[in-house]
Amino acid sequence: MIVLAGILNVMELKQNILGIEFTNPTVLASGIWGVTASGWRCVAKNGAGAITTKSLWDKEHKGHPNPTIISNEYWSLNAVGIPDAGPEKAREEIASYMADHPVYPEQSRRTPLVANIVSNSKEGFGEIAKVIAELKPDAIEVNISCPNVEDELGKPFACSKPDAAGVTEAVKKHTGDIPVFVKLSPNVNNIGEIAKAVVGAGADGITAINTVGPGMAIDLKSRKPILSNRVGGLSGRAIKPVAVRCVADCYKATDGKVPIIGTGGIYTGEDALEIMMAGASLVGIGTAIWDRGEEVFKKVCEEMSEWCDANDVKDLSEIIGSIHK
Amino acid sequence: MSCGCKKNNVPKTYKIVSIKKETEQVQTFTFDVSLGARPGQFVMVWLPGVDEVPMSVSMDDGKNLSITFFQVGDMTTELAKCKVGDLVGLRGPLGTHYEWKKGQHLILVAGGYGAAPMYFVANEAVKDECTVDFIVGARSKDLLLYTDEIKKLENTNLHIATDDGSEGHKGYNTEILEKLINQRLSSTERQSASGEASKNTPLDSTPCEEPHSRKASVFACGPEMMLKRISDICAEEEVTCFLSLERYMKCGYGLCGNCCMDPLGIRVCKDGPVISNDICRQLTEFGAYHRDELGRKKKF
């Protein structure tokens, strides 16, 4: 029975999206465990259906001093500040990953890689898109929604339809047939309109959501904010309802025509199914790694399969966007 | 008061209750809190408005936790200015810790301020009837740490090495380690030949089915090139060995990925900092390079 369930799991959770074979819908979310090729491989070994890199800049970019990430069982706050060494490191790490060095023998095939890119200008986004596209990742995700660099960069591009569309166009000029996902911010009045704008500008998919807020945590005795940046993006269990609503808005606004990576507070198989019912085809997992360990990807897949078996679901297409049908 | 959270990785500030100046540049701060840390674990130490860095716990006796730190960068230079009563943030304990069997023989090798966490190991292990060879190394006599405290421990032999020969063996602490392991191996061979019972050998205290050379464990903390040498020695002599690795960290609990080591991608903060030599041998970056806060490789 257990063996049979194992075989069914693989069949049920497999999807082909934008020409990419995903063995299951879980995706390592950007910013988590994503600095090096060896980190990506380790997460892939732990069962993730795809890996997203930490945001890659068109030039070296320093982050914030520590403390940068704090968590309790309800939420995490982070303001890492998107540190990155720039294109030279990206080339080395992505080339190493794509070359598929057999570090872990149990991995029969390379897990798809989504390269997340960031910049402080439309031109910069074009530059880094060009560099990264040459490395042929399976997909590119465009981070226009980080809330932790506002002092430096101003309001995220994801807060304005023309800005969000402009960045998307700048990226798409250089990416050829590599699918482009644009990662949106929940901290806007109408995320659906932004989704529509980026899809209109050529985005092949949407990632929703980046972190919420920002928020602040204060140490009582010293009477000071804990994060060095004072504020940071909120993630973890607490944000799931916001993520589910945002995915539903994006799906509706784009008539379910583009795939959505639903991210935010996904810890269990039921969380994953819930955000898929809102319209996600793939499910980002990040903060939950702390709580449920690196096995979280496998656990979420098992829980999804169990639920699908128990509820007579034969294919994930029956689930995706079900609230809109 | 607590929030009732089962898991928490938010720092809280605690008062410094005592400060001990160990050497010109090394101090020990003791706080009005125990975090239940085990030897080898670390805490993230936050100086509000400055920075937060990982530091080994040099003692946690159930009442108070101590850190021993070397004044080396901006954060520790500011930290060194703190006085008794000042508030410092702590979160943890984090990471893996050293483990031993009751009555086991341990060879501890400490380089520089690695003596602090290794002293914590010895202090706890002798309570479990362990016997200890404690090898401390430093550039010179005035930089040696914790030697007075180590001398007071039961069942513990202190061995000292200094680069300039100002105290103990002139040379590296790893040379003493090699000597101890060789003595131990030759004593084992002698006993095997004569069929004697296996008690009272220099590096072992309890009989066991395993060859004696495998029974003692080597634990080490200090500069990475020292650890690399120890790793080589222990691999060659087939001695069980655990090493305290150090990498740049942000979160300290396995999320950010900054401390991942090539090619396995293990996280030093979560899968370490105490890592078995069997794993260390598979880490191609061990003894070769580390990464800075931007993830860029820096050669040792």
The CATH code of the domain that includes B28 is: 2.40.30.10
Among A28, A32, A33, which would you mutate to test the B interface (most chain B Cβ atoms within 10 Å of its Cβ)? A33
Q: What is the pLDDT at residue A106?
A: 65
Q: Is B283 on the interface with A (CB under 8 A)?
A: no
Among B52, B91, B94, B253, which would you mutate to test the A interface (most chain A Cβ atoms within 10 Å of its Cβ)? B52
Looking at CA atoms only, how far is residue B104 from chain A in angstroms?
A: 32
Domain that includes residue B213, residue range: 105-244
**B64 and B166: one domain?**
no
Among B255, B264, B266, B293, which would you mutate to test the A interface (most chain A Cβ atoms within 10 Å of its Cβ)? B255
- Answer whether residue A36 shows pLDDT above 90: yes
Of B222, B244, B266, the residue at which a domain comes to its end is B244
β-strands B105-111, B87-94 pairing:
unpaired
Question: Is position A246 annotated as part of the catalytic site?
Answer: no
**Looking at chain B, which residue has its C-alpha nearest residue A39?**
B265
Question: Which burial class, exposed, middle or buried, applies to A102 when counting CB atoms under 10 A from its CB (0-12, 13-18, 19+)?
Answer: exposed
Touching A: B residues 130-159, CB under 8 Å: none
CB contact under 8 A, B260 and A33: yes
Terminal Cα-to-Cα distance of chain A (whole angstroms): 33
Q: Is A39 on the interface with B (CB under 8 A)?
A: yes
Q: Which residue has the higher pLDDT, A100 or A126?
A: A126
- In this structure, the number of other CB atoms found within 10 A of the CB of residue A164 comes to 29
Q: What is the pLDDT at residue B29?
A: 98
**B113 and B235: one domain?**
yes
- Residue with token string 């500008």: A201
Q: Percent of chain A at pLDDT above 70? A: 94
CB contact under 8 A, B295 and A60: no
User: DSSP 3-state assignment of A15?
Assistant: strand
- Answer whether residue A117 shows pLDDT above 80: yes
**Which residue among the candidates A42, A146, A159, A246 is catalytic per the annotation?**
A146
**B87 and B115: one domain?**
no
State the Cα–Cα distance between residues B77 and B50, nearest whole angstrom.
10
Q: Mean pLDDT, chain A, as a whole number?
A: 93
- Residue with token string 């008539």: A255
Torsion sign, CA atoms A222, A223, A224, A226:
positive
Q: What is the pLDDT at residue B6?
A: 63
- Answer whether residue A8 shows pLDDT above 50: no
- pLDDT, tens only, A60-86: 999 999 999 999 989 999 999 999 999
- Answer whether residue A105 shows pLDDT above 80: no
CB contact under 8 A, A290 and B254: yes
Q: Percent of chain B at pLDDT above 70? A: 89
State the Cα–Cα distance between residues B273 and A142, nearest whole angstrom.
34
CB contact under 8 A, B250 and A69: yes
- pLDDT, tens only, B144-197: 999 999 999 999 999 999 999 999 999 999 999 999 999 887 776 555 555 444
Which CATH number covers residue B203? 3.40.50.80
Picking from A62, A101, A221, the nearest residue to B13 by CB comes out as A221
**B47 and B133: one domain?**
no
Residue B188 lies in a domain: yes
**Looking at chain A, which residue has its C-alpha nearest residue B267?**
A39
Q: Which residue has the higher pLDDT, A149 or B27?
A: B27
**B62 and B152: one domain?**
no
Q: What angle do CA A140, A144, A145 make, to 5 degrees?
A: 120
Q: What is the pLDDT at residue B2?
A: 47
Which residues, in sequence order, are bridge partners of residue A224? A219
Residue B2 lies in a domain: no
Q: Is B289 on the interface with A (CB under 8 A)?
A: no
Q: Mean pLDDT, chain B, as a whole number?
A: 90
Q: Is A325 on the interface with B (CB under 8 A)?
A: no
- Cα–Cα distances (Å) from A183 to A21, A90, A194, A250, A267, in that order, read 21, 20, 10, 11, 20
Picking from A37, A39, A221, the nearest residue to B87 by CB comes out as A221
Q: Percent of chain A at pLDDT above 90? A: 89
**B68 and B125: one domain?**
no
C-beta of residue A191 within 8 angstroms of C-beta of residue A208: yes
Q: Is A286 on the interface with B (CB under 8 A)?
A: yes
User: DSSP 3-state assignment of A161?
Assistant: helix
Q: What is the pLDDT at residue A107?
A: 66
Q: What is the pLDDT at residue A155?
A: 86
Looking at CA atoms only, how far is residue B86 from chain A in angstroms?
A: 10
CB contact under 8 A, B255 and A217: no
What's the rounded mean pLDDT across residues B204-210?
A: 43
For chain A, the domains span: 2-324
Q: Single out the residue of B169, B185, B174, B164 nearest to residue B109, CA to CA.
A: B174
CB contact under 8 A, B265 and A43: yes
- Answer whether residue A32 shows pLDDT above 60: yes
User: DSSP 3-state assignment of A66?
Assistant: coil
**Looking at chain A, which residue has its C-alpha nearest residue B260?**
A39
**B125 and B184: one domain?**
yes
- Answer whether residue A104 shows pLDDT above 90: no
Residues of A with CB below 8 A from B272's CB? none
Touching B: A residues 291-310, CB under 8 Å: 291, 294
Among A222, A227, A229, A295, which would you mutate to test the B interface (most chain B Cβ atoms within 10 Å of its Cβ)? A222
Looking at CA atoms only, how far is residue B280 from chain A in angstroms?
A: 15
- Residue with token string 């936790």: B65
Residue B85 lies in a domain: yes
CB contact under 8 A, B263 and A33: no
C-beta of residue B133 within 8 angstroms of C-beta of residue B180: yes
- In this structure, the number of other CB atoms found within 10 A of the CB of residue A32 comes to 27
What DSSP character marks residue A228?
T
Looking at CA atoms only, how far is residue B158 from chain A in angstroms?
A: 38
Q: Is B172 on the interface with A (CB under 8 A)?
A: no
What's the rounded mean pLDDT across residues B94-119?
A: 96
Tell me how many domains chain B contains: 2
What's the rounded mean pLDDT across residues B232-256?
A: 96
* pLDDT band at residue B256 using 50, 70 and 90 as cut-offs: very high
Q: What is the pLDDT at residue A6?
A: 46
* pLDDT band at residue A148 using 50, 70 and 90 as cut-offs: confident
- pLDDT, tens only, A186-224: 999 999 999 999 999 999 999 999 999 999 999 999 999
Picking from A37, A73, A294, the nearest residue to B5 by CB comes out as A73
**B90 and B109: one domain?**
no
State the Cα–Cα distance between residues B42 and B32, nearest whole angstrom.
17
CB contact under 8 A, B11 and A67: yes
| One-character DSSP codes across chain B | -----SSEE--EEEEEEEEEE-SSSEEEEEES----PPTT-EEEEEETTTEEEEEEEEEE-SS-EEEEEE--SHHHHHHTT--TT-EEEEEEEES------TT-EEEEEEEGGGHHHHHHHHHHHGGGT-EEEEEEEESSGGG--SHHHHHHSTTEEEEEEETT-SSSEES-HHHHHHHHHHHHHHHHHHHHHHT----S-TT--S--SS-HHHHSEEEEES-HHHHHHHHHHHHHHT-EEEEE-----SSSSSSS-TTEETTTTEETTTT-SEEEHHHHTT-TTTTTEEE-TTS-EEE-
Q: What is the pLDDT at residue B117?
A: 96
- In this structure, the number of other CB atoms found within 10 A of the CB of residue A108 comes to 6
State the Cα–Cα distance between residues B137 and A217, nearest whole angstrom.
42
**Looking at chain B, which residue has its C-alpha nearest residue A60?**
B294
Q: Is A289 on the interface with B (CB under 8 A)?
A: yes
Residues of B with CB below 8 A from A37's CB? 262
β-strands B87-94, A232-235 pairing:
unpaired
What DSSP character marks residue A201?
T
C-beta of residue B164 within 8 angstroms of C-beta of residue B138: no
What's the rounded mean pLDDT across residues B7-33?
A: 95
C-beta of residue B165 within 8 angstroms of C-beta of residue B135: no
Looking at CA atoms only, how far is residue A10 from chain B in angstroms?
A: 25
Q: What is the pLDDT at residue B54?
A: 96
What's the one-letter identity of residue A16?
N
What's the rounded mean pLDDT across residues B201-206?
A: 42
Half-sphere exposure of A208 (CA within 13 A, CB side): 34
**B16 and B139: one domain?**
no
- The CATH-assigned architecture of domain A2-324 is Alpha-Beta Barrel (3.20)
Q: Is B33 on the interface with A (CB under 8 A)?
A: no
**B239 and B172: one domain?**
yes
What's the rounded mean pLDDT across residues B113-128?
A: 96
- pLDDT, tens only, B69-102: 999 899 999 999 999 999 999 999 999 999 999 9
Q: What is the pLDDT at residue B205?
A: 41
Residue B6 lies in a domain: no
Tokens of A41: 């491989």
